[in-house]
Amino acid sequence: MTDARGAERLSDQWDDQTAAGMSEPDLLLYRSNLLGSDLRITNFGGGNTSAKVKQKDPLTGKDVSVLWVKGSGGDLGSMKRDGFSTLYLDKLESLKGLYRGLEHEDEMVGYLPHCTFDLNPRAASIDTPLHAFIPKAHVDHMHPDAVIAIAASNASERLTKEAFGGEIGWLPWQRPGFDLGLKLEAMAKGQPALKGIVLAGHGLFTWGDTAKECYQQTLRIIQKAADHLVAKGKAEPFGKAVAKPLDEAGKAAFLTELVPGLRGKLSKGVPKVMHFTDAPEVMEFVDAARAEELAAIGTSCPDHFLRTKIWPLFLPFDPAKEKADAAAGRLDSLLEGYRKRYEAYYERCKRPTSPAMRDPYPVIVLVPGVGLLSFAKDKATARIASEFYVNAINVMRGAESVSAYVPIPEQEAFDIEYWLLEEAKLQRMPRPKSLEGRIALVTGGAGGIGGATARRLLAEGACVVITDIDPAALDEALASLRKDHGKDRVRAFRCDVTDEASVRDSYGYALRELGGLDILVSNAGIASAAPVEETPLEVWNRNLGILATGYFLVSRDAFALMKRQGIGGSIVFIGSKNALVASSGASAYCSAKAAATHLARCLALEGAEIGVRANVVNPDAVIRGSRIWGGTWRAERAASNKITDAEIEDFYRKRSLMKRSVFPEDIAEAVYFFASELSAKSTGNILNVDAGNVASFTR
């Protein structure tokens, strides 16, 4: 069913058959997963649910009331049963006797672990008292855009009455904590007919006597808010559309021009990955007359600005009259202005105990006619930040359509952003992996060495674009990498490294999908063997085309992109023993490999002053997983060494000084060394990974 604007209505997904026979904790989980699966009900990672359950106390064997409430972290949509913390309700009640008042609120968080039931290791969230003190068995706390629109408007209290006709209470903005828990309790007890409470600038509480009733209540109330906005809202709350959006190609060209410099400027401290979206709700906002004015007000709901920063950067641009370079030319002064504004906000609002100022640059960049760019330490964080800004846009649209959008007071926003409890959460996060925020492109990424390299870089936190000429192999490699490393950080693009346009397109793709490039692994290769007088020109050209010209094309464009970003980079060539040692019957291959090796040295020379390093890894006889060794090369090498196909692997192992086979993972390890800061001071080098071969000792 759809409403007047064509929006789908929230649908009741509760299935009695599925729910039949479930225990109370399982019903709570079922309800939580249902609620979290629709972003209109609550945003990613936002909101929490609870149930008050009678259980046997493991110490006394007596029945006690236990609060099951979503613990700290995680997302309702995907959480499992271990995502709930469990606490003795009577112990939580007894905390009221310890509470010393608002200024001592944070110390109450320290008491929560003392209330743990059954040694549950899941940390209780700061929202725990909000659920504990509401005298209802089942409580939902959601962050629905439609309700926050009402909650973040300057007529919030009146609109709450109008939209819900008195069945929902209203509390002014207050940071979540013990005190807000007491206020919710007082209101729920004082007005027993209430079905829920709107928290200004924040979200919604709803409740029920059973899990199902609570779920349906929550849906009904959110739908009521959405209906009210549709019925009472005015058209074009953002003002008239003034920017004419660029077409697909125009947007791509714009990003190619703007993003390298922008990413470079935002990555001076910590490297950043970009996410781009031009979703319809984003375009409606950025193209509208009032976009700049509304963006400057900042995001309102705490969940939103913790992800998006308090304000986005609005980049003025007239797509009808200007080219991308005009927008790029404004970046320096706009970023400088943003930094100063953020620093002034920090100085104005900081308290004696506040943590040090964090990165003063924007997370969200809005461009009329183009869309929304978000930058964060990894791809998932950047994507989620952009999703949160879409939530903020929905809130602004709703609020402006019936009233005026208002943010929570600046000091309150600051106190949340720099809350010591938030800081403690940040400090508890695992240390970033060594390549977090870095973007790598691996040519020949569907092959043995390319695939192992992609995996190694992904394991260190990098985003990776694999390219390959073989689309079927590329699809298979992409699926396999995504299975192990998730969708966010892995991309694939079909590329012929001998084709200038194809190479250029692969970087355009990396730029639009991830924001740029820090690491190039030039790996796409072939091999052929024939005595020199029997080598046709076509074979010679093919070897030179892929192994020399191909390496030139991919590294030339990578070099140019890295230079524009201005944050250095690492180029790694997969070379060959044959670049150093002439090998009989393979003149085309050996010569092409030697050309590539020398190209790496030239890149090292020209790249030094801009922090771009270039190094070579020389594998030898990496047979397992290799497509080169699966073809005629294997037979040619076998014939040339007077052995059978089956003896190849053993032959090469025995030929090495250390009598060991070399695997793709061994090569990947050396690539990782050159790609990472471990080798920050190495350039123009060759690293042999061949189990020892005296002829290839470098000198």
* Residues annotated as part of the active site: 589
- Between 203 and 664, name the residue whose CB sits nearer to Zn ion: 203
- Count Cβ neighbours within 10 Å for each residue of 655-687 and write b for 16 or more, e otherwise: ebeeeebbbbbbbbbbbbbbbbeebeeebbbbb
The HSE-up count of residue 397 (CA atoms within 13 Å, CB side) is 20
Q: Tell the smallest beta-carbon distance from residue 310 to Zn ion (Å).
A: 17
Q: How far is the CB of 658 from Zn ion (least distance, A)?
A: 60
For Zn ion, the closer of residues 203 and 516 by Cβ is 203
Contact yes or no for 87/66 (Cβ under 8 A): yes
CB 522, min distance to Zn ion, A: 49
Q: Which is nearer to Zn ion, 263 or 304 (CB)?
A: 304
Burial 439-465 (b: 16+ CB within 10 A, else e): bbbbbbbbbbbbbbbbbbbbebbbbbb
Q: What is the DSSP string of 18-58?
A: HHTT--HHHHHHHHHHHHHT-TTTS-TT--EEEEEEEEE-T
Q: What's the min distance (Å) between Cβ of 204 and Zn ion?
A: 9
Give residue for tokens 């609870």. 50
Query: Measuring CA to CA, which residue among 71, 86, 72, 130 is closest to residue 105?
Result: 130
Q: Which of 203/260 has CB closer to Zn ion?
A: 203
Residue least distant from Zn ion (Cβ) = 203
Stretch that binds Zn ion, among 198-206, 318-326, 621-629, 671-679 (CB under 5 A): 198-206
Shortest distance in whole angstroms from residue 141 CB to Zn ion? 6
Choices 63-71, 200-208, 508-516, 667-675 (CB under 5 A): range interacting with Zn ion: 200-208
Q: Which stretch binds Zn ion (CB under 5 A): 25-33, 53-61, 199-207, 566-574?
A: 199-207
Closest CA to 507 of 498, 516, 499: 516
Segment contacting Zn ion by CB under 5 A, of 197-205, 412-420, 428-436, 628-636? 197-205
Q: How far is the CB of 302 from Zn ion (least distance, A)?
A: 7
CA nearest to 571, candidates 595, 591, 554, 550: 554
* Residue 454, both tokens: 């992609």
C-alpha distance across the termini of the chain, in Å: 75
Part in contact with Zn ion (CB under 5 A); list of ranges 196-204, 393-401, 595-603, 629-637: 196-204
**Residue 202 Cβ vs Zn ion, minimum distance, rounded to whole Å:** 6
The distance of closest approach from Cβ of residue 175 to Zn ion in the complex, given in angstroms and rounded to an integer, is 10
CA-to-CA separations, 193 to 151, 200, 205, 207, 301, in angstroms, rounded: 21, 20, 14, 11, 27
Q: Which of these ranges, 202-210, 270-278, 346-354, 510-518, lies near Zn ion under the rule CB under 5 A? A: 202-210
What span, in angstroms and rounded, lies between the C-alpha atoms of 33 and 46? Answer: 12
What x-and-dash track marks residues 341-360 binding Zn ion by CB under 5 A? --------------------
HSE-up of residue 680 (Cα within 13 Å, Cβ side): 5
Phi/psi of residue 625, nearest 5 degrees: 80, 0
Q: Tell me: does residue 203 bind Zn ion (CB under 5 A).
A: yes
Residue in 307, 303, 294 with CA at minimum distance from that of residue 393: 294
Q: Which stretches of 560-683 are assigned E, i.e. beta strand?
A: 569-574, 612-619
The interface mask with Zn ion, positions 416-455, x = CB under 5 A, is ----------------------------------------
Q: Which of 553, 546, 680 is nearest to 613 (CA)?
A: 680
Q: Which is nearer to Zn ion, 199 or 617 (CB)?
A: 199
Comparing CA positions, the residue from 459, 437, 302 lying closest to residue 376 is 437
> How distant is the alpha carbon of residue 142 from its chain centre?
23
Residue 137: name the closest of 251, 18, 52 by CA.
Answer: 52
> Per CB under 5 A, does 129 bind Zn ion?
no
57-96 residues labelled b (16+ CB within 10 A) or e (exposed):
eeeeeeebbbbbbbbbebbbbebeeebbbbbbbebbeebe
Nearest to Zn ion of 109, 567 (CB atom): 109
Minimal distance in Å, beta carbon 472 to Zn ion?
47
Query: Closest CB to Zn ion among 70 and 613?
Result: 70
Nearer to Zn ion, 129 or 203 (CB): 203
Number of C-beta neighbours around residue 571 at 10 A? 28
Longest dimension (CA), the chain: 98
Nearer to Zn ion, 45 or 371 (CB): 45
Instruction: Identify which of residues 399 and 603 has a Cβ nearer to Zn ion in the complex.
Output: 399
Our finding on whether 74 is near Zn ion (CB under 5 A) is: no
> Taking contact as CB under 5 A, which single stretch among the options 201-209, 211-219, 474-482, 513-521 is the one that binds Zn ion?
201-209
| Touching Zn ion, residues 210-269 (CB under 5 A) | none
Question: Could you tell me if 625 and 476 are in contact, meaning their C-beta atoms sit under 8 angstroms apart?
Answer: no
**Nearest CB to Zn ion, comparing residues 388 and 663:** 388
Q: Which residues contact 426 (CB under 8 A, 6 or more apart)?
A: none
**Of the listed pieces 25-33, 64-72, 195-203, 435-443, which binds Zn ion according to CB under 5 A?**
195-203
Closest distance between Zn ion and the C-beta of residue 143, in Å?
6
- With 0-12 / 13-18 / 19 or more C-beta atoms within 10 angstroms meaning exposed / middle / buried, residue 653 is middle
Residue 46 C-beta: closest distance to Zn ion, Å:
6
Query: What is the side-by-side strand order in the sheet with 569-574?
Result: 490-494, 463-468, 439-443, 519-522, 569-574, 612-619, 686-689
Give the count of residues interacting with Zn ion (CB under 5 A): 1
Q: By the criterion CB under 5 A, which residues form the site for Zn ion?
A: 203
